[in-house]
Amino acid sequence: MTPDSEKACFKALVALQNRDYATASSYFKMAQNLVAKNADLRILSEATEILLAVKDELRELEMVKES
């Protein structure tokens, strides 16, 4: 059987392909151990986290702007 961490990494990449960043982030977290060992995956996982933080910040700024 394929280890669950590998399956989670694959699902994270598919989620990124579909631009579903929140789902990708969850799968990367499930595959923590594998991500820590692979530089490419680590960069993608960290870029996803930064992007989600940026999106949160943008949402807040836009809400402030609207009010």
List residues binding other proteins (CB under 8 A): 1-2, 4, 7, 10, 13-14, 16-17, 19, 21, 40, 43-44, 47-48, 50-51, 54-55, 57-58, 61-62, 65
* Shortest distance in whole angstroms from residue 50 CB to other proteins: 6
Whole-number Å distance between alpha carbons of 47 and 18: 16
Whole-number Å distance between alpha carbons of 51 and 23: 13
Whole-number Å distance between alpha carbons of 39 and 56: 26
Would you say 36 or 38 has its CB closer to other proteins? 38
Lookup: tokens for 55: 């999106």
* Shortest distance in whole angstroms from residue 44 CB to other proteins: 6
